[in-house]
Amino acid sequence: MSSDTVVVTGGAGFIGSHLVEKLLEVGYRVMVIDDFSAGSMSNLSNASEFGSQLEVVRQDIAEPGLAKVMEQAGPRYVFHLAAQSDVRRSMADPFHDAKVNVLGSVNVIESSRKLGIERVIYAASGGTLYGEPESSELPVTEGVKHQPLSNYGVTKKVVLDYLFSYREAYGLDYVALALANVYGPRQDPHGESGVVSIFAGNLAAGRTCAIYGDGHQTRDFVFVSDVADAFVASMTKGSGEVFNISTSIETSVNSLYWEMARQHKMSLHPSYLPGRTGELMRSCLSNVKAGEILSWVPHVTLSDGLSQVIEWVNKNN
């Protein structure tokens, strides 16, 4: 592999596999490093059509041997997306969460330093980074205090500090993308923001969907291909910065449900269950900085994105 090789940790996962396809399409050789704890080879079936341009290595980012594997690729850029990405699991098993998300990330960053990588591009979590902001702070800008309310949010935040300190100490360049609620085909319902894929699966099977709380809680749903574009834009712009990658549009879980039900031509009402402790009431991130510095804007509307999810679920069930 040559100098136009990139490494994508977590490349067999939901967002990672879309990013891998995009990078292959624009001519990069890609080494995927994934332990397949959540990702799968089936997520990479489109990417596999690029033949030897794609190399897939099974490797736990928290275990020794990572730098050696990365060295074989000789990459210029490292996209770091591998993570334990289930918020509830982070509360049930904080040690595993910290092992993967903190120690694993330190291993990725330290290996990148040793190998002289040009830039690390990190998938941070905009949905958890800012905790529960005041209504007056919405849509939240990157300058709002970082105060996550879950173990997952904490472990994802800590990596921002490591990236900052490595840049100061060693000149290892980085960009961190604070992703809002990403949705799209191949999303695992157990991930950080699986509500779209859970509703899609239930509606396709004619099952009643459950909404926790009154459904007025809001999220900022950003489509996965737009997110992949933001990662690519971050290869050349935005050195040492954190960017929200979002739509800046608040959508309530009720509106999401009824838009999906409409697309399924269903009038089945959802059932309402007691709200879950610790769940944010409102989440919406400003994407102004990404527009100004990365020249990135989201293109896919919620309605179009949802129809792509529904089509994918119908084909794959």
Ligand X SMILES: NC(=O)c1ccc[n+]([C@@H]2O[C@H](COP(=O)([O-])OP(=O)(O)OC[C@H]3O[C@@H](n4cnc5c(N)ncnc54)[C@H](O)[C@@H]3O)[C@@H](O)[C@H]2O)c1
Assess 298 for contact with ligand X (CB under 6 A). no
Assess 179 for contact with ligand X (CB under 6 A). yes
Q: Which of 77, 122, 152, 174 is catalytic?
A: 152
Assess 23 for contact with ligand X (CB under 6 A). no
Query: By CB neighbour count within 10 A (0-12 exposed, 13-18 middle, 19+ buried), where does 40 fall?
Result: middle
Which CB, 104 or 257, lies closer to ligand X?
A: 104
Site for ligand X in 109-168 (CB under 6 A): 123, 125, 127, 156
Which CB, 111 or 193, lies closer to ligand X?
A: 193
Beta bridge partners of 210: 271
User: Which pair of tokens denotes residue 209?
Assistant: 């969907």
Q: Binding residues for ligand X, how many (CB under 6 A)? A: 33
Three-state SS at 265: coil
Assess 218 for contact with ligand X (CB under 6 A). no
Q: How far apart are CA 32 and CA 154, in angstroms?
A: 26
Give me the torsion for CA of 46, 49, 50, 55, rounded to 10°: 80
Which CB, 29 or 191, lies closer to ligand X?
A: 191
Assess 225 for contact with ligand X (CB under 6 A). no
Spatial contact of 216 and 279, defined as CB atoms under 8 Å apart: no
The residue from 47, 73, 182, 309 that contacts ligand X (CB under 6 A) is 182
Site for ligand X in 46-85 (CB under 6 A): 60-62, 81-85
The residue from 36, 164, 170, 258 that contacts ligand X (CB under 6 A) is 36
152 is catalytic: yes
Which CB, 62 or 260, lies closer to ligand X?
A: 62
Select the span of 6-14, 20-28, 197-205, 277-285 touching ligand X (CB under 6 A).
6-14
Q: How far apart are CA 268 and CA 310, in angstroms?
A: 16
For the stretch 161-169, contacts whose Cβ atoms lie closer than 8 Å and that sit 24 or more positions apart, written own/partner, are 162/105, 162/106, 162/109, 163/109, 163/120, 163/122, 164/240, 166/109, 166/113, 167/240
- DSSP 8-state class, residue 195: H
Assess 253 for contact with ligand X (CB under 6 A). no
Which CB, 5 or 246, lies closer to ligand X?
A: 246
Spatial contact of 247 and 180, defined as CB atoms under 8 Å apart: yes
Assess 257 for contact with ligand X (CB under 6 A). no
Q: CA-CA distances (angstroms) from residue 285 to 84, 131, 231, 251, 296?
A: 23, 12, 17, 12, 14
Q: Which residues are catalytic?
A: 152
Residue ranges in contact with ligand X by CB under 6 A: 10, 12-16, 34-39, 60-62, 81-85, 100, 104, 123, 125, 127, 156, 179, 181-182, 188, 191-193
